Structure 1
Amino acid sequence: MILDESKLSHRFTERSGVRLHYVEAGEGPLVVLLHGFPELWYSWRHQIPALVEAGYRVIAPDMRGYNLSDKPRGVGAYAIDELTADVAALIEASGAERAAAVVGHDWGGGVAWTFAMRYPALLERLVILNCPHPQKLLAGFRTARQLRKSWYMFFFQLPRVPELIAQRSGYALLREALKNDPQRPGALSDDDLARYVASWSQPGALTATINYYRAMFRPGSLRGLSKPTRVDVPVLVIWGEHDRYLGAELAAPDPELVPNARVARIPDASHGVLYDRPERVNQLLLEFLR
C-alpha cells in the first residue's frame, strides 16, 4: 500500500526533558510501531496505511536519538530502561489505556521485547520482526557464527571512529548496507534512501543512534537481560530468513519464557523484512491482530 503522508499527523511528546517526535494516523485500537537501526518512523511506510485501513490507530515514533526526536548526550541516556519508558510515555500521550499491540523491528524489537517484560499491563499483543528475545541473543553471542554476524556491535564500542567512518562519502557505508539488504529488487528507492540520509544528517544523530549499542554493553546491562521476565501476552515473531546480521536459529523464543509465541518465517526476505516483503508482513500482522 502507498503511504499518503497528507493523512499523517506529526506530533511531539516529552518525557524527562526529552522531546519525542511521532506520526499518528487512523482511529481505533492503538498500535505502536518501533523502528530499528539506522532507520526512522518512515520505515513503516508500508504498514501504516494497511493498519489504518483495517481500523487501527497507529503511532510510529522516531525513537530517541533518531531523526526529529531529541538526542540527549551520554551513553546512559540510551539504556534500555530509558527506551522502554519512552514507549510507556507515548502510550500515555495517546490517551489510550494500553496498546492493542506493540510492534518492533531490529532495535525496536529489542525495546519491544523488554517493554513487554516491564510494562505488561500496557499492551495486549506483541509483534517482533527480526529481533531475537534477549536471552536468545545472549546465547548467540556464545557461538562463533553469531559473533561473526554481530561484529559491528563490538566495533560500535569504539569512541568516535564508527561515526567518522559512517559519515564518509555521504554516509556511503550506511546507504549501501540498507540498499544491498533486501532480496526484492527496488525495495528501497533513491527517494527512500534520501529520507534516511536526512535523518542521519541531523546534528548528533549518528552518535546518539550508535549509543544504543554502547549502552547495551555497559556493565550490568547484559546481566539484567540474562534473567528476563516471562512474557504472557500473545507474541508473533516474523523472521526474514536471509538475515545477514542475525542467525535464523535465534528466531524462536524459549517457550518457558514466552509460552504464547508463534514464529512465521519468510524464506525470501532479508533483515529488513518490513519493506522487503511488505505484503506478506502486513498479511501476517493483520491476521494476528484480528
Structure 2
Amino acid sequence: MPDFQLIDTGAVRLRVAVEGTGPLVLMVHGFPESWYSWRHQIGPIARAGFTAAAIDVRGYGGSEKPGSVGSYAMEHMVADIVAAAAALQPSGPVILVGHDWGAPMVWNSALVHPERFRAVAALSVPYAGVPSRPFTEVFRAAFTAKGRFFYQEWFQAEGPPEIEAERDVRDFLRKFYYAISGDAPVGTWPDKAAGATLLEQMVDPQPFPAWLTPDDLDYYVAEFEASGFRGPINRYRNHERDFAWLQPYRERLIEQPALFIGGSKDPATTLFGAVTDPVALMQPLVPRLEGYILEGCGHWTQQERPVEVNNLLLDWLTRI
C-alpha cells in the first residue's frame, strides 16, 4: 500500500495516496471509485522515477465530505486539484491524469490553470470544449424528452438515488461496474423508460469479471459504506454551475502535451453515441494530443486493461 497524506486545500482536507519521488503525477478518479482505482498505476509510475499520487476526490473515502450540492461544482473540484498539486510539489508545474469524472476535472484544470499543469492525460471521457449549453439540456433533449431513462437525470433529485445506492452497496457497485464494463454483453446497460430507477433491470454477474477481485470489491464496499453516496452523486447536480463557470474560457485551447485513452465499448468515450471518433473531435481543441482506443475495453479503463494503459501512460510520461 502507498503512504497516505491528508492535504488541507483551505476548503476541505483530501486524502492522497503517495508513492515514489520525482516529478509529480497527480491522479484523479471518477464515480463511483476512489484513489484505489489507480492501484495498478501507482507503483509502476513511481518506479519510473515519478511521485505518483492519487487523491480521494472530495466526498469520497478518506477526504472530507461537504453536504451542499454546490460544494461539488467543477470550480471547487479544480481548486482542490490545484491545492493538492501545490502541496505535493510546491515548485514547478504538475502532470495530471484523470478517469471518468476525473477526466473533465483534469481537462478543466489544464484549461483554466495552464501555468500550473504541464501535461494532462485523461481516460474514458474526451474533451469536447467549453459547453455551449448545460449538459442537463443535452441529455433531457436526447433522452428524457423522448421518454427514455438517463442515469444523470435519475441523479438530479436529492434523496432517492442515494437511498437506492446505499440500500445494498455491494449490489449497487457490482451491477453498476459490470453494466458498462467491456465484459458485459450489449444491452446489459438497459434502455428503459424515463422514471425508472438506476438499478431496475440491471444484472449482477456470477462470477464477476476477473479485473475486479473479491478483495478489490471489498475495499470499495467498505469505503462507500463509510462515506455514503451523497457527495459523489452531488457532482452530477452541478451542470448549470459548471456551464456558467467555464464560459470565460470558450476561446482557449488546451495547449499542453495531452494523452487520451478510451475504450471501444465505453459509452463515455463516444459521449453516449454522439461521437464516432473522439480523438478527431478533440484534436482541434487539444492540438498536442495523442489518442488511443482500446478495442473491447469498457468504462473502467485502467482497471480493465492495466498493462495496456500502463504501457501507453509510461511511454508518454517519459517523452513529455
| 8 Å Cα contact 2:125/2:268 also seen in 1 | no
| 1:157 paired to 2:153 | no
SS at match of 2:219: helix
Query: What is the aligned partner in structure 1 of residue 99 from structure 2?
Result: 105
TM-score after normalising by structure 2? 0.80
Contact 1:183 1:269 in 2 (8 A): yes
Q: Write the distance in 2 (CA, Å) between the matches of 1:228 and 1:195.
A: 42
**Alpha-carbon shift at residue 175 of structure 1 (Å):** 2.3
Q: 1:66 and 2:94 equivalent?
A: no
Q: Which residue among 11, 24, 46 is the counterpart of 1:30?
A: 24
Q: 2: CA distance between counterparts of 1:172 and 1:119?
A: 39
Assess, with a 3 A threshold, how the Cα gap between structure 1 residues 197 and 138 changes in structure 2: closer, same or farther: farther
Aligned residue type for 1:52: A
Distance 1:256 1:287, change over 3 A: same
Alignment match, 2:303? 275
Residue 146 to residue 182, structure 1, CA distance change in 2 (3 Å): farther
- Once the two structures are aligned, what percentage of the paired residues are identical? 32
Aligned to 2:44: 50
Secondary structure of the corresponding residue to residue 104 of structure 1:
strand
Structure with max Cα Rg:
2
How much does 1:48 deviate? Answer: 0.7
- 3-state secondary structure, aligned to 1:236: strand
For residue 276 of structure 2, give the secondary structure of its aligned residue in structure 1. helix
**Could you say which residue in structure 2 is the equivalent of 1:222?**
243
Q: Are 1:86 and 2:97 counterparts? A: no
- The ranges of structure 1 where at least 4 consecutive aligned residues each deviate by more than 6 angstroms after the TM superposition are 136-140, 145-150
Change (3 A) 1:87 1:150: farther
Which among 184, 188, 193 is matched to residue 212 of structure 2? 188
Matches within 5 A, 1:224-263: 224-225=245-246, 227=250, 229-247=252-270, 249=276, 251-252=278-279, 253-263=281-291
Q: Report the equivalent of 1:264.
A: 292
For residues 11 and 159 of structure 1, the distance between their equivalents in structure 2, rounded to whole angstroms, comes to 31
| Cα RMSD (Å) | 2.5
Distance 2:16 2:261 in 1: 24
Contact 1:34-1:60 within 8 A present in 2 as well: yes
Amino acid in the other structure paired with 1:191? D
Matched length: 281
Distance 1:154 1:132 in 2: 21
Contact 2:98 2:105 in 1 (8 A): yes
For 2:292, give the aligned amino acid.
A
- Contact 2:107/2:127 (<8 A) preserved: yes
Question: TM-score, with normalisation over the residues of structure 1?
Answer: 0.88
